[in-house]
Amino acid sequence: MATQNGAAMNAPHGPRSTVSDWLASAHPTPEGAHHEWKLSGIALIPTGRVFDVLRLPAAIVHRAVGSAVPELVRARLGDGAVIHDAYEPGRWYYALVRPGAQHAYRLDEGTWLGIPEAGRTTRPGAYWIRPPRHPEDFCPMDGVAELIRRGGEGPTPPRALPELDTIEQACRALFDDNGRDPCPQDAAAATTQARDHLTALLPVTQEAATQLPLDHAAQARLARALIEAYRQLEADSSSLNLARQYAHAKRLARCCLDQVRVLRELDAAAAGPQRL
Protein backbone atom coordinates (compact mmCIF):
# COMPACT_ATOMS: atom_id res chain seq x y z
CA MET A 1 0.00 0.00 0.00
CA ALA A 2 1.34 3.42 -0.88
CA THR A 3 2.14 5.56 2.12
CA GLN A 4 0.10 8.70 2.65
CA ASN A 5 -0.29 11.32 5.33
CA GLY A 6 -2.53 9.72 7.97
CA ALA A 7 -3.60 13.01 9.51
CA ALA A 8 -5.29 14.05 6.29
CA MET A 9 -7.25 10.79 6.27
CA ASN A 10 -8.72 11.08 9.75
CA ALA A 11 -12.06 12.38 8.43
CA PRO A 12 -14.05 11.54 5.30
CA HIS A 13 -13.53 13.97 2.41
CA GLY A 14 -17.17 13.74 1.28
CA PRO A 15 -20.33 14.13 3.33
CA ARG A 16 -20.35 11.62 6.15
CA SER A 17 -23.99 10.80 5.48
CA THR A 18 -23.11 9.69 1.94
CA VAL A 19 -20.48 7.28 3.25
CA SER A 20 -22.86 6.03 5.96
CA ASP A 21 -25.61 5.42 3.41
CA TRP A 22 -23.18 3.46 1.24
CA LEU A 23 -22.07 1.25 4.15
CA ALA A 24 -25.67 0.79 5.30
CA SER A 25 -26.75 -0.28 1.80
CA ALA A 26 -25.01 -3.61 2.45
CA HIS A 27 -27.46 -4.32 5.29
CA PRO A 28 -30.71 -6.20 4.49
CA THR A 29 -32.53 -3.23 6.04
CA PRO A 30 -30.30 -0.12 5.77
CA GLU A 31 -32.35 1.76 8.35
CA GLY A 32 -31.47 -1.02 10.77
CA ALA A 33 -27.77 -0.27 10.32
CA HIS A 34 -28.35 3.43 10.97
CA HIS A 35 -30.31 2.54 14.10
CA GLU A 36 -27.49 0.31 15.41
CA TRP A 37 -24.94 3.08 14.77
CA LYS A 38 -27.13 5.50 16.71
CA LEU A 39 -27.38 3.09 19.65
CA SER A 40 -23.80 1.85 19.91
CA GLY A 41 -21.63 3.26 17.12
CA ILE A 42 -21.29 -0.25 15.64
CA ALA A 43 -23.58 -2.01 13.16
CA LEU A 44 -23.40 -5.67 12.19
CA ILE A 45 -23.40 -5.73 8.38
CA PRO A 46 -22.94 -8.69 6.01
CA THR A 47 -20.03 -8.65 3.60
CA GLY A 48 -19.85 -9.76 -0.02
CA ARG A 49 -22.46 -7.67 -1.81
CA VAL A 50 -21.47 -4.00 -1.48
CA PHE A 51 -17.94 -4.68 -0.28
CA ASP A 52 -15.71 -7.60 0.58
CA VAL A 53 -13.44 -7.62 3.61
CA LEU A 54 -9.95 -9.03 4.12
CA ARG A 55 -9.18 -9.91 7.74
CA LEU A 56 -5.47 -9.24 8.23
CA PRO A 57 -3.54 -10.50 11.28
CA ALA A 58 -2.15 -7.57 13.22
CA ALA A 59 1.33 -9.14 13.27
CA ILE A 60 1.53 -8.83 9.49
CA VAL A 61 0.24 -5.24 9.43
CA HIS A 62 2.52 -4.13 12.26
CA ARG A 63 5.62 -5.69 10.70
CA ALA A 64 4.76 -4.15 7.34
CA VAL A 65 4.37 -0.60 8.68
CA GLY A 66 7.02 -0.95 11.38
CA SER A 67 4.80 -0.01 14.30
CA ALA A 68 1.83 -1.05 16.42
CA VAL A 69 1.04 2.53 17.48
CA PRO A 70 -2.39 3.36 15.95
CA GLU A 71 -1.34 6.85 14.84
CA LEU A 72 1.72 5.50 13.03
CA VAL A 73 -0.20 2.57 11.53
CA ARG A 74 -2.78 5.03 10.20
CA ALA A 75 -0.10 7.26 8.73
CA ARG A 76 1.74 4.41 7.02
CA LEU A 77 -1.20 2.50 5.55
CA GLY A 78 -2.06 3.28 1.96
CA ASP A 79 -5.33 3.92 0.16
CA GLY A 80 -8.64 2.47 1.22
CA ALA A 81 -10.81 2.06 4.30
CA VAL A 82 -9.49 -0.12 7.14
CA ILE A 83 -11.07 -1.10 10.47
CA HIS A 84 -9.08 -1.99 13.58
CA ASP A 85 -10.74 -4.29 16.11
CA ALA A 86 -9.51 -2.88 19.40
CA TYR A 87 -11.56 -5.08 21.72
CA GLU A 88 -8.80 -7.63 21.39
CA PRO A 89 -5.79 -5.28 21.25
CA GLY A 90 -3.80 -5.53 18.07
CA ARG A 91 -5.26 -8.79 16.77
CA TRP A 92 -7.10 -7.98 13.52
CA TYR A 93 -7.38 -5.33 10.84
CA TYR A 94 -10.21 -5.43 8.30
CA ALA A 95 -9.55 -3.96 4.84
CA LEU A 96 -12.53 -3.14 2.62
CA VAL A 97 -12.03 -4.32 -0.97
CA ARG A 98 -14.20 -4.60 -4.07
CA PRO A 99 -16.79 -7.39 -4.07
CA GLY A 100 -15.60 -10.57 -5.71
CA ALA A 101 -12.09 -10.40 -4.30
CA GLN A 102 -10.23 -13.69 -4.31
CA HIS A 103 -7.85 -13.94 -1.38
CA ALA A 104 -7.03 -16.34 1.44
CA TYR A 105 -7.83 -13.65 4.03
CA ARG A 106 -11.23 -12.78 2.54
CA LEU A 107 -14.21 -13.26 4.86
CA ASP A 108 -16.79 -15.61 3.42
CA GLU A 109 -19.62 -13.91 1.56
CA GLY A 110 -22.51 -13.14 3.89
CA THR A 111 -20.49 -13.04 7.10
CA TRP A 112 -21.54 -10.34 9.54
CA LEU A 113 -18.90 -7.86 10.64
CA GLY A 114 -19.08 -5.06 13.19
CA ILE A 115 -18.80 -1.93 11.01
CA PRO A 116 -18.11 1.32 12.89
CA GLU A 117 -20.10 4.45 12.16
CA ALA A 118 -18.40 6.46 9.42
CA GLY A 119 -16.97 9.07 11.81
CA ARG A 120 -15.77 6.65 14.49
CA THR A 121 -11.96 6.98 14.37
CA THR A 122 -10.93 6.30 17.97
CA ARG A 123 -11.27 3.59 20.58
CA PRO A 124 -12.87 1.94 22.51
CA GLY A 125 -13.93 -0.94 20.37
CA ALA A 126 -13.79 -1.36 16.62
CA TYR A 127 -13.01 1.89 14.83
CA TRP A 128 -11.81 3.16 11.46
CA ILE A 129 -8.05 3.41 11.60
CA ARG A 130 -8.47 4.69 8.03
CA PRO A 131 -12.07 5.87 7.56
CA PRO A 132 -13.77 5.71 4.14
CA ARG A 133 -13.43 9.06 2.39
CA HIS A 134 -16.23 8.38 -0.06
CA PRO A 135 -18.39 5.45 -1.23
CA GLU A 136 -16.33 2.58 -2.67
CA ASP A 137 -13.15 3.75 -0.98
CA PHE A 138 -11.61 0.32 -1.41
CA CYS A 139 -8.12 -0.88 -0.60
CA PRO A 140 -6.36 -1.87 -3.87
CA MET A 141 -5.63 -5.59 -4.01
CA ASP A 142 -2.08 -5.05 -5.24
CA GLY A 143 -1.45 -2.75 -2.28
CA VAL A 144 -2.79 -5.34 0.16
CA ALA A 145 -0.61 -8.01 -1.47
CA GLU A 146 2.45 -5.78 -1.06
CA LEU A 147 1.61 -5.11 2.59
CA ILE A 148 1.30 -8.85 3.25
CA ARG A 149 4.58 -9.49 1.44
CA ARG A 150 6.36 -6.90 3.59
CA GLY A 151 4.75 -8.16 6.79
CA GLY A 152 5.38 -11.83 6.10
CA GLU A 153 3.02 -14.76 6.24
CA GLY A 154 3.78 -15.84 9.79
CA PRO A 155 1.32 -18.30 11.36
CA THR A 156 -1.65 -16.93 13.28
CA PRO A 157 -2.17 -18.71 16.60
CA PRO A 158 -5.62 -20.25 17.08
CA ARG A 159 -8.09 -18.32 19.19
CA ALA A 160 -8.54 -19.80 22.66
CA LEU A 161 -12.06 -20.09 24.00
CA PRO A 162 -12.44 -18.19 27.30
CA GLU A 163 -13.29 -20.19 30.41
CA LEU A 164 -17.06 -19.93 30.06
CA ASP A 165 -17.78 -21.67 33.39
CA THR A 166 -15.50 -19.25 35.25
CA ILE A 167 -17.02 -16.21 33.54
CA GLU A 168 -20.57 -17.40 34.16
CA GLN A 169 -19.90 -18.14 37.83
CA ALA A 170 -18.30 -14.73 38.42
CA CYS A 171 -21.08 -12.86 36.64
CA ARG A 172 -23.86 -14.72 38.43
CA ALA A 173 -22.18 -14.02 41.77
CA LEU A 174 -22.53 -10.31 41.06
CA PHE A 175 -26.32 -10.66 41.27
CA ASP A 176 -26.08 -12.31 44.72
CA ASP A 177 -24.88 -9.57 47.06
CA ASN A 178 -26.23 -11.35 50.20
CA GLY A 179 -27.54 -8.09 51.58
CA ARG A 180 -24.11 -6.53 51.94
CA ASP A 181 -23.79 -2.77 51.96
CA PRO A 182 -21.95 -1.71 48.80
CA CYS A 183 -18.69 0.21 49.00
CA PRO A 184 -16.80 2.15 46.30
CA GLN A 185 -14.00 -0.43 46.12
CA ASP A 186 -16.45 -3.29 45.55
CA ALA A 187 -18.31 -1.35 42.86
CA ALA A 188 -15.11 -0.49 40.99
CA ALA A 189 -13.84 -4.07 41.23
CA ALA A 190 -17.15 -5.49 40.02
CA THR A 191 -17.22 -3.15 37.03
CA THR A 192 -13.60 -3.92 36.11
CA GLN A 193 -14.15 -7.67 36.39
CA ALA A 194 -17.31 -7.64 34.28
CA ARG A 195 -15.66 -5.40 31.69
CA ASP A 196 -12.63 -7.70 31.47
CA HIS A 197 -14.85 -10.74 31.00
CA LEU A 198 -16.83 -8.99 28.28
CA THR A 199 -13.74 -7.89 26.35
CA ALA A 200 -12.49 -11.50 26.48
CA LEU A 201 -15.80 -12.81 25.12
CA LEU A 202 -16.37 -10.22 22.40
CA PRO A 203 -13.73 -11.40 19.89
CA VAL A 204 -15.03 -14.97 20.13
CA THR A 205 -18.65 -13.87 19.79
CA GLN A 206 -17.77 -11.61 16.86
CA GLU A 207 -15.97 -14.47 15.13
CA ALA A 208 -18.98 -16.72 15.73
CA ALA A 209 -21.18 -14.13 14.04
CA THR A 210 -18.96 -14.12 10.95
CA GLN A 211 -19.27 -17.91 10.67
CA LEU A 212 -23.07 -18.09 10.70
CA PRO A 213 -25.21 -17.81 7.56
CA LEU A 214 -27.65 -14.89 7.38
CA ASP A 215 -30.66 -17.09 8.05
CA HIS A 216 -29.19 -19.00 11.01
CA ALA A 217 -31.58 -19.11 13.97
CA ALA A 218 -28.95 -17.67 16.34
CA GLN A 219 -27.86 -14.79 14.09
CA ALA A 220 -30.42 -12.26 15.37
CA ARG A 221 -29.74 -13.10 19.04
CA LEU A 222 -26.02 -12.93 18.45
CA ALA A 223 -26.40 -9.54 16.79
CA ARG A 224 -28.46 -8.20 19.69
CA ALA A 225 -25.93 -9.51 22.22
CA LEU A 226 -23.04 -7.82 20.40
CA ILE A 227 -24.83 -4.51 19.97
CA GLU A 228 -25.79 -4.38 23.66
CA ALA A 229 -22.24 -5.32 24.68
CA TYR A 230 -20.78 -2.48 22.60
CA ARG A 231 -23.31 -0.09 24.11
CA GLN A 232 -22.54 -1.05 27.71
CA LEU A 233 -18.78 -0.98 27.21
CA GLU A 234 -19.05 2.62 26.06
CA ALA A 235 -21.47 3.72 28.78
CA ASP A 236 -20.11 6.12 31.39
CA SER A 237 -19.30 4.16 34.57
CA SER A 238 -17.76 7.05 36.48
CA SER A 239 -20.85 7.91 38.53
CA LEU A 240 -20.23 8.58 42.23
CA ASN A 241 -23.59 7.00 42.99
CA LEU A 242 -22.90 3.46 44.26
CA ALA A 243 -26.27 2.14 43.15
CA ARG A 244 -25.63 3.35 39.60
CA GLN A 245 -22.14 1.87 39.59
CA TYR A 246 -23.46 -1.53 40.64
CA ALA A 247 -26.29 -1.30 38.13
CA HIS A 248 -23.77 -0.72 35.35
CA ALA A 249 -21.59 -3.60 36.54
CA LYS A 250 -24.65 -5.86 36.48
CA ARG A 251 -25.55 -4.75 32.95
CA LEU A 252 -22.02 -5.65 31.83
CA ALA A 253 -22.35 -9.00 33.60
CA ARG A 254 -25.70 -9.66 31.93
CA CYS A 255 -24.07 -9.01 28.55
CA CYS A 256 -21.47 -11.65 29.44
CA LEU A 257 -24.14 -14.15 30.41
CA ASP A 258 -26.03 -13.53 27.17
CA GLN A 259 -22.91 -14.21 25.11
CA VAL A 260 -21.95 -17.27 27.14
CA ARG A 261 -25.43 -18.67 26.53
CA VAL A 262 -25.26 -18.19 22.76
CA LEU A 263 -21.70 -19.55 22.53
CA ARG A 264 -22.73 -22.67 24.42
CA GLU A 265 -25.73 -23.18 22.14
CA LEU A 266 -23.53 -22.90 19.07
CA ASP A 267 -20.90 -25.16 20.60
CA ALA A 268 -23.52 -27.82 21.37
CA ALA A 269 -24.88 -27.65 17.83
CA ALA A 270 -21.49 -27.61 16.10
CA ALA A 271 -20.61 -30.63 13.99
CA GLY A 272 -17.08 -31.76 13.21
CA PRO A 273 -13.77 -30.74 14.73
CA GLN A 274 -14.16 -26.97 14.33
CA ARG A 275 -15.91 -26.02 17.54
CA LEU A 276 -16.31 -22.58 19.04
The number of domains in the chain is 2
Q: Please check whether residue 58 lies inside any domain of the structure.
A: yes
Q: Are residues 123 and 217 in the same domain?
A: no
pLDDT digits 0-9 by tens, 212-246: 665 677 777 777 787 888 788 877 666 667 888 88
Number of CB atoms found within 10 A of residue 127's CB: 20
- Does the predicted TM-score (pTM) go above 0.75? no
Rounded CA-CA distance 99/231 in Å is 30
Q: For residue 42, give the nearest of 234, 249, 236 by alpha carbon.
A: 234
- Domain end, chosen from 151, 185, 204, is at 151
- Per-residue confidence band for 81, with pLDDT thresholds at 50, 70 and 90: very high
Contact 55, 102 (CB under 8 A): no
Q: Are residues 138 and 18 in the same domain?
A: yes
Q: Are residues 134 and 173 in the same domain?
A: no
Q: Which domain holds residue 86?
A: 7-151
| Section 151-161 average pLDDT | 58
Q: Which of 28-42, 129-143, 192-206 has the lowest mean pLDDT?
A: 192-206
pLDDT digits 0-9 by tens, 24-58: 999 999 999 999 999 989 999 999 999 999 999 88
pLDDT digits 0-9 by tens, 3-15: 333 333 333 344 6
- Which is more confidently placed, 152 or 219? 152
- Which is more confidently placed, 58 or 23? 23
Q: Please check whether residue 276 lies inside any domain of the structure.
A: no
What does the DSSP 8-state code read for residue 106? B
Q: Are residues 247 and 216 in the same domain?
A: yes
β partners of residue 43: 115
| Section 63-83 average pLDDT | 84
What is the pLDDT at residue 5? 33
What is the pLDDT at residue 9? 36
pLDDT digits 0-9 by tens, 85-118: 866 544 789 999 999 988 989 999 999 999 999 9
Q: Are residues 171 and 145 in the same domain?
A: no
Q: Which of 51-60, 134-143, 180-189 has the lowest mean pLDDT?
A: 180-189
Contacts of 229 (CB under 8 A, 6+ apart): 198, 201, 202, 205, 255, 258, 259
Rounded CA-CA distance 256/167 in Å is 8
The percent of residues above 90 in pLDDT, for the chain, comes to 37
Measured between its terminal Cα atoms, the distance across the chain in Å is: 34
Q: For residue 119, give the nearest of 199, 30, 23 by alpha carbon.
A: 23
- C-alpha distances (whole Å) from 87 to each of 7, 190, 231 are 23, 19, 13
Q: Please provide the average confidence, as pLDDT, over all residues in the chain.
A: 80
What is the pLDDT at residue 59? 81
Contacts of 203 (CB under 8 A, 6+ apart): 85, 87, 88, 91, 159
Q: Are residues 141 and 208 in the same domain?
A: no
